[in-house]
Chain A
Amino acid sequence: MQRRSFLKAGLLGALALAAGGAVYRQLHPPILQRYAMDDNARTIVAALVPAIVGPVLPQDTAQRKAVLDGAVDRVAGAIAGLPLPTQKEVADLFALLSLAPTRHLLAGIRNWREATPEELADFLQSWRTHRLGLLQTAYHALHDLVLGAWYADPVSWAAIGYPGPLKELSA
């Protein structure tokens, strides 16, 4: 798909979604509840971690899986600490990125598990500067959740030269 037509389709699709969502919410005020990431959401985050944090993951397959699992768990933990209205927005975002029509139309991703680094970077870059504020905010949410989860982990600190807090007072 040409970038122009992709953007156009993306715009129309998002507008339709937004309109549909607005009508739906008028009829059904949201019941706020805790959101727990499902397998789809975990797959999306696992795909996005290397795309967002950059070339700092271990190459070894087992080590890579372990650090990815840890990062995904910390994203889930960070979401659990957000207010319920924000958890609802995060849930909506992962639903949008999971469902095939919106995933194709808005993210340009065929399959998260098999997405190439280029596809992931294109997706992130297009949302980063998207004309729809909604998608820009979604980019920022993914940026902050993933980078926050990555650099929350003391294991990540040595690579950037951060010595961590004074050990005597942080045990």
Chain B
Amino acid sequence: MTSPIPDPLAAGLASGWKVVDASALDKDLTLDADVVIVGSGAGGGVTAEILSLAGLRVVIVEEGALRSSRDFKMREADAYPQLYQESAARKSKDKAINILQGRTVGGSTTVNWTSSFRTPPDTLSWWQNRYGLKDYNVAALAPWFQMMEERLHIVDWPTPPNANNGLLGEGAQKLGISFGHIRRNVNGCWNLGYCGMGCPTNAKQSMLVTTIPSALSHGATLLTRARAERFALQNGRAERLDCSALTADGIETNGRRITLKARHFVVAGGAINSPALLMRSGAPDPHGLLGKRTFLHPVVVSAATYPQPVEAYSGAPQTVYSDHFLHTGPVDGPIGYKLEVAPMHPLISATTMAGFGAAHAALLHKYPHVQGMLALLRDGFHDGAQGGAVELRSDGSPVVDYPLTDYVWDGARRALLTMAEIQFAAGANGVSPVHELAQTYTSWNEARQAISALPMQKLITRVVSAHVMGGCMMSADDRNGVTDPKGRYHGVTNLSVHDGSLFPTSIGANPQLSIYGIVARLASGLAEDLTGRPAPRPVAA
């Protein structure tokens, strides 16, 4: 396995970075640090860099393995088991929603599609008014977003969209639906289209190639294939974090124990895993809020075929979006949705498309002509979309119980209608909503009548998610959240949460930049609290 692309992780390891693969431990391990960070994704990566630059001794614990560009061969069969939670087959408790989350160094940032949006103003207004998060306003957060945009090279994408994205824009334009272009965290992107399998050229400015290497170069220690099991909590403090080493394939524990001691602990394992760690630890939860209000941006999908090739597997995955249907009513009115497209690689396309046998093969026979559009529903702003609850299985592993309500289904139907209309406007000759009872429709009129009558039910209407948020929600009032506006866990003085699980609602946009910006502020505050000095400002190498 060779690659002509220089691998910065290989170079860093050769330079003496402290990286411990727990699966190879031959005895138990105890480490001391100023700060232990659980998770190396958007929240953990940003925190690790800022605290390391501040001179603090940092240990990062990551359940996944350290893989980098030399391993990223753009093959789904390798990428899903190696880089995703549960082999990319994580599901809600009733298995009605397939949930994509990363499990590798860099977390979901290593496998996301690079879409970068600041937290929408209407989401921030809601947080201020409903949860007393006064400092979460556009002006106060702008410098933090700007700092992370500069750090991660988040800029307008100058290359024309691929056909998959372009058709969203064309259809929207014909119908008078507003749309825009997506900013991306890439530098020197080859426009290949395989962001979801790990960037083979290191163009994606994920945590894997930015903040984590920076932290390691400033003395941080990275433990991989190590699962954070539970905190030992005593007298309102976290005394230590007990971890288990995993087998090389990440499926089981291998019997070695790791004990981590620190002045302060930061939980950044991502929504679902972060609240689960705190639940296993018996963290204080006097109001029964821990793990609750877990949001998924439930996604429905519409496939369409066009006379011309679309080649939705090639080119930057997401470059065009429409927020039109987030703004047609009040934020707490009927559920709004954001429109984007999905890259269509064979494995994920074949498993996502409904049906079997000749009918399924017929759609795949037109594979290069297929466009995949998606609508993500903005949950968390209405009584009908209060999100899911994280539960623990008998082995302590988490699962989210997420009810798909009539309120959500109403949005799903409207979104499927919108997508079909846009696809026909863009010239589709067939539209196939991803639904077990749907057919391929050949006109907007036919599609409109059919979709209006399709039953909206779990396991019949395909629902997926790539954005998990909430479960450790912030609130100024400790009766309404388990964390405060600084990310400090209520009732445990030396414990913070720094990831998307803090969010009291869904974001209404791809969440990575919301996590980067908000966590940059939280981590800078934490660095000042712990060192008594102004926080350092991370800059791109």
Q: Is the interface of B mostly helix, strand, loop or mixed?
A: loop
Q: How far is the CB of A155 from chain B (nearest CB, A)?
A: 11
Q: How far is the CA of A80 from the CA of B358 in the complex (A)?
A: 29
With the chains together, A123 CA to B354 CA distance in Å?
16
Q: How far is the CA of A32 from the CA of B393 in the complex (A)?
A: 11
- A50-58, A60-68, A94-102 - the one binding chain B: A50-58
- Interface status of A21 (Cβ within 8 A of chain B): no
Contact with A along B223-253 (1 / 0, CB 8 A): 0000000000000000000000000010110
- Contacts of B73 on A, CB cut-off 8 Å? 165, 169-171
* Interface range, A side: 35 or more
| A124 lies within 8 A of B356 (CB) | yes
Q: Is the CB of A143 within 8 A of B356?
A: yes
Residues of the B chain whose Cβ atoms lie less than 8 Å from the Cβ of A53: 356-357, 360-361
CB neighbours of B95 from chain A (8 A) = 137, 140
A102 to B73, CA, bound (A): 42
Known contacts: A29-B394, A137-B459, A170-B73. The answer to whether A165 contacts B350 by CB under 8 A is no
> B357 to A54, Cβ gap below 8 A?
yes
Contact check, A34 vs B75: say whether CB atoms are below 8 A apart: no
* Distance to closest chain A CB from B88 (angstroms): 9
Residue A85 lies at the interface, judged by CB distance under 8 Å to chain B: yes
Q: Which residue of the partner chain A has the closest CB to B3?
A: A169
Interface contact B346-A81, CB-CB below 8 Å: no
CB under 8 Å from chain B, chain A span 138-162:
140, 143-144, 147-148, 150-154, 156-157, 159-162
A143 → chain B closest CB, angstroms: 6
Q: Hey, which chain B residues are within 8 Å of A160, CB to CB?
A: 346, 364-365, 367-368
Question: Which of A54, A128, A133, A136 contacts B361 (CB under 8 A)?
Answer: A54
* Min CB–CB distance A61 → chain B (angstroms): 21
A116 to chain B, nearest CB (A): 13
Closest B residue to A32 using CB positions:
B395
Whether A161 pairs with B367 at a CB distance below 8 angstroms is: yes
Contacts of A128 in B (CB 8 A): 356, 436
Q: How distant is A123 from chain B, measured CB to nearest CB, in Å? A: 10
Asked whether A36 is an interface residue with its Cβ less than 8 Å from the other chain, the reply is no
Question: Please, how many angstroms separate the alpha-carbon atoms of A147 and B346 in the complex?
Answer: 9
B395 pairs with A84, CB closer than 8 A? yes
| B86, CB-defined interface residue at 8 Å | yes
Contact status A133-B459, CB under 8 Å: yes
B74 proximal to A (CB < 8 A): yes
Given known contacts A140-B95, A151-B350, A165 and B361 CB-to-CB distance under 8 angstroms: no
Would you call B440 an interface residue if the criterion is a C-beta within 8 Å of the partner chain's C-beta atoms? no
Q: Measured between C-beta atoms, what is the minimum distance from B162 to chain A in Å? A: 14
Residue in B closest to A125 when the chains form the complex, CB atoms: B356
A86 in contact (CB, < 8 A): yes
Q: B1, B194, B251, B356: which has the most chain A beta carbons within 10 Å?
A: B356
- Within 8 Å CB of B368, what residues of A? 160-162
Chain A residue contacts of B487, Cβ below 8 A = none
Is the CB–CB distance between B74 and A54 below 8 Å? no
A80 to B296, CA, bound (A): 27
CA distance A160 to B361 in the complex (A): 9
Nearest B-chain residue to A25, judged by Cβ = B394
Q: B201 within 8 Å of A by Cβ?
A: yes
Report the contact-size class of chain B (Cβ under 8 Å from the partner): 35 or more
Are B347 and A148 in contact, CB atoms less than 8 angstroms apart? yes
Q: Is A20 an interface residue (CB 8 A)?
A: no
Q: Do the beta carbons of B356 and A165 come within 8 Å of each other?
A: no
Q: CA of A88 to CA of B291 in the docked complex: distance in angstroms?
A: 25
Chain B residues with CB under 8 Å of A162's CB are 313, 345-346, 367-368
**Complex contact A140–B459 (CB within 8 A):** yes
Q: Does A104 contact B (CB under 8 A)?
A: no
Other-chain contact of B346, A84, A157, A168 (Cβ < 8 Å):
A157
Nearest A-chain residue to B357, judged by Cβ: A54
Whether A82 contacts B356 in the complex (CB less than 8 A), given A170-B73, A170-B74, comes out as no
Contact check: which of B249, B357, B437 meets A121 at CB < 8 Å?
B357
Residues of B within 8 A of A83 (CB): 86, 251, 397
Interface centre among B347, B393, B436 (most CB of A within 10 A): B347
A148 to B75, CA, bound (A): 12
> Which chain B positions have C-beta within 8 A of A124?
356-357
Q: Which of A32-55 contact B (CB under 8 A)?
A: 32, 34, 51-55
Partner of A136 from the list B2, B3, B74, B459 (CB cut-off 8 Å) is B459
CA distance A84 to B393 in the complex (A): 11
Question: Is A103 part of the binding interface, using a Cβ–Cβ cutoff of 8 Å?
Answer: no
CB distance from A88 to the nearest CB of B (A): 10
A16 contacts B by Cβ under 8 Å: no
In Å, the complex CA distance between A137 and B458 comes to 10
Q: How far is the CA of A168 from the CA of B80 in the complex (A)?
A: 21
Chain A residues closer than 8 Å to B15, beta-carbon distance? none
B-facing residues in A86-121 (Cβ within 8 Å): 86, 121
Q: How far is the CB of A23 from chain B (nearest CB, A)?
A: 16
In whole angstroms, how far apart are the Cα atoms of A105 and B480 in the complex? 50
Min distance, Cβ A74 to any Cβ of chain B, angstroms: 7
Given contacts A147-B360, A168-B4, contact A81 B459 (CB under 8 A): no
| A interface footprint on B54-90 (CB within 8 Å = 1, 0 otherwise) | 0000000000000000000111110011000011010
Residues of B with C-beta under 8 A to A133: 94, 458-459
Chain A residues whose C-beta falls within 8 Å of the C-beta of B357 in the assembled complex: 51-55, 121, 124
B81→A81 contact, CB < 8 A: yes
Decide yes or no whether B5 CB sits under 8 A from chain A. yes
A-binding residues in B (CB < 8 A) = 1-5, 73-77, 80-81, 86-87, 89, 94-95, 192, 194, 200-201, 249, 251-252, 313, 345-347, 349-351, 356-362, 364-365, 367-368, 393-395, 397, 436-437, 458-460
Q: Name 24 interchain pairs, CB-CB below 8 A, sorted by A.
A: A52-B356, A54-B357, A54-B358, A55-B358, A74-B77, A80-B249, A84-B251, A85-B393, A137-B95, A147-B347, A150-B350, A152-B75, A154-B75, A157-B346, A159-B365, A160-B365, A160-B368, A162-B346, A162-B367, A165-B194, A169-B73, A169-B74, A169-B192, A171-B73
A-B pairs, top 7 by smallest CB distance, nearest first, are A54-B361, A165-B74, A81-B81, A152-B77, A151-B346, A160-B367, A81-B87
